[in-house]
Copies of this chain bind each other. A is one copy, B any other.
Amino acid sequence: MTRPANDDATPSGTATGRTTLAQVAKRAGVSASTASLAFSGSGPVSDETRERVLAAARELDYGGPDPRARSLRTGRSGIIAVVMEERIRDGFTDPMAIAMLDGIADEIGAAGYSMLLLTDSPDREAGGLRDAPMDAAILFGCSTDLDPAVAVLGQRHVPLVGVETTPRDGMRLVNSDDRDTVAESARLLSELGHTRVGIITLPLDRARTRGPLTADRLTASDAYTGLERLAGARAVFPDAPAMVASGSLIDEGMLAARRLLDQHPDITAIMAQSDLLAIGAIQAAEERGLSVPGDLSVVGFDGARVDGLTTRTLTTVVQPIAEKGRAAARLALGALADASDGELRDELFTSILRVGDTTAPPRAS
């Protein structure tokens, strides 16, 4: 729909004004093939010839082979797309998203590829998803609903890698054993003697609706990450009340914890589905005079290093987030190498429960 307009100052048979490889070759007195080889370094060219070509390029102010033309010819654009389901402002307030993106960029950059950042906001037409050049795409986010993006990209036959998403046909996956590790942290609480535990979850629908988790909402949700972590907690505490946050934010953790403590004043521990939510829960507890972990134990998830919070060590599940990003990038790059795709396998990462100073036995009541 909205697509770069071409105005009219562009090709139509006549030159565009820009220097081309052919012109450089002519000036250097060699063929276009040789000039091409001189630039790419991927063929046998005498040093002297190469020098002549590069000199000609300098004289003509030639900036190197046009990536657009190369990309058409080679069938590769050198671009890997990363698709987030939220707008940048929301997605990147989460340090986990940033750390993963960093891992992706690392691996992609080392392979000579660049990263195209696309958002799959529900309110916008597919945009870059439909039109942008890309050799593969990595999808991530809280995964409430990536179907539209998957449909568009699948239609284009772009190899797809999902991070923390529901398994889907024709899509490689990078996941971690969240359910198990959350269950492990729940058992820690259980062994400490806790029996009444509250849960703060990540968003469970696209609208990011806040509020108590009802049976209806649970059934309606398809938010992979949130549901997995919830299942882990409820494996140990089947009846634990849960409050849904509208994002992985400290402020959201505070809001949810306040409501949880209001509605269930008897809980002795809170399991938060992210470290930011956990930090918010701690702040909420402290603002009403509850000490952590004396009066309330708090468990997080992520193992995020949060700037400005050096005072205490959160009990949390540390996930290898940058490594997950790198794995996703490797899968995406791998899908290009093998046309056969057969060798590529989903990657399942293991996280580790780190016991900090925010958990303790419940106060004798």
Interface positions of A (Cβ within 8 A of B): 1-4, 6-7, 9-11, 16, 18, 40-41, 61, 63-64, 66-69, 71-79, 87-89, 92-93, 95, 98-99, 101-102, 105-106, 109-119, 124, 127-128, 130-133, 135, 155-157, 249-251, 254, 276, 279-280, 283, 307-308, 310, 336-337, 339
Residue A95 contacts which of B69, B93, B115 (CB distance < 8 angstroms)? Answer: B93
CA distance A279 to B250 in the complex (A): 16
**Residues of chain B contacted by A156 (CB below 8 angstroms):** 63-64
| Given A11-B73, A78-B4, A307-B250, A117 and B131 contact (CB-CB distance below 8 Å) | no
| Contact present for B78 and A89 (CB under 8 Å) | no
**Can you report 7 A-B residue pairs in the complex whose CB atoms are below 8 A from each other?**
A1-B41, A2-B112, A88-B105, A114-B132, A115-B118, A250-B307, A251-B310
| Given A112-B3, A117-B116, A280-B308, A78 and B251 contact (CB-CB distance below 8 Å) | no
Closest to A98 in B: B92
**Residues of chain B contacted by A124 (CB below 8 angstroms):** 109
| Contact present for A133 and B3 (CB under 8 Å) | no
Q: A105: shortest Cβ distance to chain B, in Å?
A: 5
| Given A4-B111, A92-B98, A102-B88, A157 and B71 contact (CB-CB distance below 8 Å) | no
